[in-house]
Structure 1
Amino acid sequence: MYLKKLKIKNWQCIDETEIKFENLMLFIGQSNSGKSSIMSAIMFFLGYRNFRSKDIRDEEQPLIIEGRFYNYYNKTFHLKNIDVSNKNIWLKVEKNLEEEARYFVLVDNRWNRISEKEYITITESTPLLYIPSFSDREQSCFFINSLLNILESKKINRPETIDEMIDTFNKLQSDYVSRGLYRNLIFEIFRSLAIYSKKKKHSLLDNSLIIFEEPELYLHPQKEKELFENMCLLTKLGCQIYVTTHSSNFINLYMYKSICIVRKEESIGTKVFQFKGFLFSGDEVKNFNMNYWINPDRGELFFAKKVILVEGQTDKIVLGYLSKRLGIYKYDYSILECGSKSLIPQFIKLLNVFKIPYVAVYDKDNHFWRTPEEIENSKQKNKTIKNSVNKEIGTWVEFENDIEEEIYQENRERKNYKNKPFYALKTVTDSKYIIPKRLEIKIRKIFS
C-alpha cells in the first residue's frame, strides 16, 4: 500500500498538521524545525517505532495520528469482525499518556476499533526501511538486514552487486570504519537498486517506504546529484522514499508537489507547507525551468528564511557586499538572481504558494535615453511585479532607475553599462566610497 495522507495531532513539537504524500517526498526546513518529529510520527503510525512518554505534546490531550493508504493491489484484509478491501484505507491510532493505544479502521464512514495485531496486519503491507542521519555500524547493519528481509519476503533474487557490498560490509565489522564509509555503502546499494529496477521496469523493493534522513552527509555534490536521480527512478518505478535534507541538490522544480517545507513557531508548533495545484502553464514552464535550473544556487530559495529577488549579477554582487559593509547581511537570507525583470513574477508566484518570505528588488528603468516605447514596456513590467506580491508574505523595493544610478548618484549614459558587475564592485569596494543615504535606506529595508 502507498501512504497518501497523514494528519498528526499533539505529537512532539506538532500541535496539528496535515501532509499529502507523493512517492518521493522532500522535507525541508531549518534545524530544529520539526522534520525528525514528522519522520518519527510516520514510523510510529506504521508500527515501526514504540511510543515514548515525551511524544505527547500536551499531556492533557490525546495524541491522534490518522492516515489514508492507497490499496494499489486491492488487497483484502480479513480482520476478526470485518473485511477491509477498499482502494482507499483509512487508519487511526489514538494514545493518552497513561492509557494503552487504541486502533481504528474506517469502514462505511464509521471508525471501527480493531486490535493492535489487526492494525499491524494492515500497516505491514507497507514495509519500512529507516536510514538515520548518522549511520554507524549497528544502524547500517540493521538497514542492510531489513533490506534483505524485504527482498526475501518478495521472493526477489537480489543483484550480485548488492551481495558483493554485503560481503564488504561483513568484512568491515571487525575493524574501525568511518561513518562516511558506511554512508558510501548505502549510496552504492541505492545505485545498484536503481540499475536493476530499471532493467526489471519496476522497483525491486516494490511499494516499500524508505525514510532517509540527510542523505547528503559524507557525499560530494556530484554523488548527491546521482543519488537523487536514483531516488527519482526508484519512486517512479513504485518505491516510496521520504527524505529530510539541507541540500539544494535534492530539489527539482518539476517535482514541486514532492516539496514539503517544515516550519516551527512557538505558539502553533510545527506546520508543513505544500502546494498540490498547477504552478505554471504554457510557456511559463519552459522559460522558468530553464532559467531556474541552469544555476543550481537558485535551489537555495526553499531553504532560506527570506529570499531577495534581484534582476541580475550586478544587484546580487553589490547588495551582498554593501549589506556586509553596513553590518546587516544575514546568512539565512538568499539573494536570488532571476535573470531578468520579466521572470521575477514567476519566482514570486513560487514563493507565494510555499509562503516563503521575500522582497522583490527591481530597476525602474526610466532612463532619460530610453524611448517612450521602452519606458512604457518597463512600467508594465514594474506593475506586474507589484501586483504579483502577496503583501502578507513579501514586499518590493524599486531602484531609481537602476542600482548603478543609485551607486554613482548620477544619470548614466547607455554606453556606461559595459561590464556592469566589474565596475560597480570596483566602485563600492573603494575605501573612499561613501554609500549614498538613499541607497542605504533601501538596502536596510531589503535586509530587514
Structure 2
Amino acid sequence: MVITKIKINYYKNIKEPIVLEPHPVNIFIGQNNVGKSNFLDAIELALCDPEENSYLYYHKADVELELKFSEEEQRKYQLPDRQANFVLENGHRQLIFADRELPYNNALKKLLCSRVKRLNETALANFRQIENDFASLKHYQGAWGKFTQILHQHFPKIKAGENAMDVDYAHAGLYENDRRVTIDRLGSGFRRIFTILLYIIHPEYTVVMIDEPEIHLHPALVKKLLWAMENSQVGQIFFTTHSPLFITPITLPQVMRVVKDERSTRIFTLQENQYDYQRLLQELNADNLEMFFSDEVVLVEGISDRMLLRGLIDKFYKGDKDIKVVQTHGKGNMKIYLYLLNIFNIPFVIVLDRDALRTQHIQEIMTFLNIKIPVADESKLISELKRYNIHIFDNGSLEDNYPRRYQTEDSKSLSALRAANLLTAEEYKSAKMNNLRNIIEHL
C-alpha cells in the first residue's frame, strides 16, 4: 500500500485545504511550532486508531487519502480494486472504491494500520517491538539481503554474522573490525540509523514516518541515511527535519516547506518540471542550502559582501529572525535564487552595487519580481526599490560603505573579513555605514 494523494481539509492548525501528491521520499521542513509533524500525525490518525490524547483531533479531523494497493494485498483482503479513497471525517472512516464502499472492519483496519510505522523517540526506544520486527526479516530473504548489503556498503568495518537472524535485536551477530559486538554496545547514532534502515527496508511497512531522523547522528551518518532512504525504501517515507544535509538538488522536489500564518498552515513545494537540475547542481551547496531553513535570506553578489554582511548581522542585528546571507556569484545568478525563494515562500532582501543599474540584470530582476517603476532617474529608482527589499549602494560598491582603515590591497574578501571581526560599535553608527546599517535595521 502506498499513498498517491493526500488532502487535509481540517486538522489541528490546518484550517484550509492542502493537497499533496507524495513522492517515495517526502521531506517536511520549517521553523519550530509551524506544524510539520501535523502532516505525519494526520496520516497516522487516519489509518490507525487514535491514541488517547488524539481523540479530540480525531473527531474533528477531515482527511482524505488516495491509496494504491499491491496485487498481493488485493488478493489477500479481497479488495474490488487496487485503488481507493480513504476518508476520515468527524470520527468516521470510509474506504471508497470505484463501484462500492467497504465498511471499516477489523480486517480493513489490519490492512491499513499494519502497513504504517511511525518512528518517534518513543518508538525508537521500544526495543521489544524493534526486536520482533528485526526477527521477522528472516521471512523475507530479499529484504534481509538488501539490509546487510547497505549495512556493509555504508559501514564497511561492520559485518553481519551468519547467525544474526537467529538472535534478538539487542544481541544481533555483528562484527566490527573482525571483533564480535552487539548492537546495544554500539553508539546511539549507529543504533538509530540501524533501526531506521530496518523499517524503511522491511516489506511489512510501506508507509514509514520519522520525526527528525538526524537526532544523535553525525553529519556523515545523515548523508549515508539519506542515500539509504533514496535507494532502499520499499514503499514511502515521510519525515520532518531541521537538517540541511537532507536537502540536495536531487531531493529538492521532495521538500515541502511548512509555513504557519494567522489563518492556517500552508505548504510550499517545487514541481519537478519547474526547475533545471543541472543549473541547481551548479549553484547549490551545503552552505547556501541552509537558506531553506531561514526566516529571511539576504542575497549578495560576492564573497566579500557575504563575509561583511554576515559579520555585521552577527554583531549588530537586534531581531530574533534567523538570517542567512547567500552569495550568488554575480548579478546574473540572482534569478535562480529568487525563483527558489519565491517557490518556497522565503522572505528575501537583495543587495547590489550601483553598477547594477547600468546592466540588464536589474531589469531582469524587476521583471521577474513583477516590479514596475516608471522612473528614469537612478537616485529615485534606488529609493523606490527599497520598498521591494532591493538595496542598491547609492555611492558605489561595498568598499565605499565601511571604513577604509580595514581595507588593504591584498584582497577584497580579506578586507571584508577584517572589518567583520574588528569593526567597532562607534564605527557601525557612523555616517560612513548608513547604507549597511539601514539594510540590517530593516531585516
Q: Distance in 2 between matches of 1:214 and 1:130?
A: 12
Aligned residue in 2 for 1:114: 103
- Matches of 1:166 and 1:386 in 2, distance apart? 66
Within 5 Å, which residues of 2 pair with 1:16-27?
A: 16=16, 17-27=18-28
Secondary structure of the residue aligned to 1:386 is helix
For residue 274 of structure 2, give the secondary structure of its aligned residue in structure 1.
Answer: coil
The 1:390/1:41 distance shift into structure 2, 3 A limit, reads farther
SS in 2 for 1:253: coil
Deviates most, 221-230 or 115-124? 115-124
What are the equivalent positions in structure 2 for 1:131-210 lying under 5 Å apart? 131-133=119-121, 137=125, 139-149=126-136, 151=137, 158-159=144-145, 161=160, 164=164, 167=167, 169-171=169-171, 181-189=187-195, 205=203, 208-210=206-208
- Give the corresponding residue for 1:44: 45
Structure 2 counterparts to residues 48-87 of structure 1, below 5 A: 49-50=50-51, 52=53, 55-56=56-57, 62-73=60-71, 76=74, 83-86=79-82
- Counterpart residue number, 2:274: 279
Residues 1:437 and 1:317: Cα distance change in structure 2 (over 3 Å): same
| Structure 1 CA distance for aligned equivalents of residues 210 and 166 of structure 2 | 19
Partners of 2:56 and 2:325 lie apart in 1 by: 38
Q: Which residue of structure 2 aligns with residue 371 of structure 1?
A: none
From 248, 261, 273, the equivalent of 2:244 is 248
Give me the whole-angstrom Cα distance separating, in 1, the residues matched to 2:260 and 2:108.
31
SS in 2 for 1:440: helix
1:216 and 1:165 map into 2 onto residues whose CA distance is 27
Which residue in the other structure is 1:269 paired with? 264
1:359 to 349, 357, 363: 349
Change in Cα spacing, 1:185 to 1:92, as seen in structure 2 (3 Å) is same
Correspondence 1:224-263 to 2 at 5 A:
224-235=222-233, 238-263=234-259
Kindly state the Cα deviation for residue 182 of structure 1 after the two structures are TM-superposed. Answer: 4.4
Counterpart of 1:245 in structure 2: which amino acid? T
- Match for 1:9: what amino acid? N
Distance 1:55 1:89 in 2: 26
C-alpha distance in 2 between matches for 1:35 and 1:128: 18
TM-score, normalised by the number of residues in structure 1: 0.76
User: In 2, are the aligned partners of 1:9 and 1:15 still within 8 Å (CA)?
Assistant: yes
- 1:128 shift after superposition: 2.1
CA contact (8 A) 1:136 1:182 kept: no
Residue of structure 1 equivalent to 2:331? 341
Q: 1:89 aligns with which of 69, 84, 89?
A: 84
Match of 2:360? 380
Alpha carbons 2:403, 2:427 under 8 Å: kept: no
TM-score for both structures, normalised by structure 2: 0.76
Identical columns (%): 20
* Residue in 1 that maps onto 2:398: 403
Per the alignment, residue 35 of structure 1 pairs with: 36
Contact 2:34 2:259 in 1 (8 A): yes
Instruction: Tell me how far apart the structure 2 counterparts of residues 131 and 344 of structure 1 sit (CA, whole Å).
Output: 39
Cα gap change, 1:390 to 1:239, in 2 (>3 Å): farther
Aligned pairs, number: 398
User: Could you tell which deviates more after superposition, 299-308 or 432-441?
Assistant: 432-441
Amino acid at match of 1:348: L
For 1:427 and 1:117, how far apart are their aligned partners in 2? 69
Cα distance, 1:319 vs. partner? 1.2
Answer whether contact 1:129 1:210 (CA < 8 A) is retained. yes
**Alignment check: 8 A CA contact 1:213 1:243 kept:** yes
> SS where residue 76 of structure 1 aligns?
helix
Pair 327,53 (structure 1): closer, same or farther in 2 beyond 3 Å: closer
- Provide the residue aligned with 2:9 in structure 1: 9
Shift of the 102–23 alpha-carbon distance from structure 1 to 2, 3 Å rule, reads same
Query: Is the Cα contact below 8 Å between 1:56 and 1:63 reproduced in 2?
Result: yes
Give, in angstroms, the shift of residue 221 of structure 1.
Answer: 1.0
8 Å CA contact 1:352–1:390 kept in 2: the answer is no
Kept in 2, the 8 Å contact 1:27–1:244? The answer is yes
Q: Is the 8 A contact 2:299 2:328 kept in 1?
A: yes
Aligned to 2:154: none
Q: What are structure 1's unaligned runs of at least 5 residues?
A: 96-100, 195-202, 367-374
Aligned twin of 1:291? 283
Contact 1:27-1:262 at 8 Å conserved across structures: yes
| TM superposition shift of 1:229 | 1.1
Q: Deviations over 1:150-184 (max 9, x none)?
A: x3665757356397499574359xxxx99994442
1:205 aligned partner, one-letter code: P
State the 1:309 CA deviation.
1.3
SS of 2:15's partner is strand
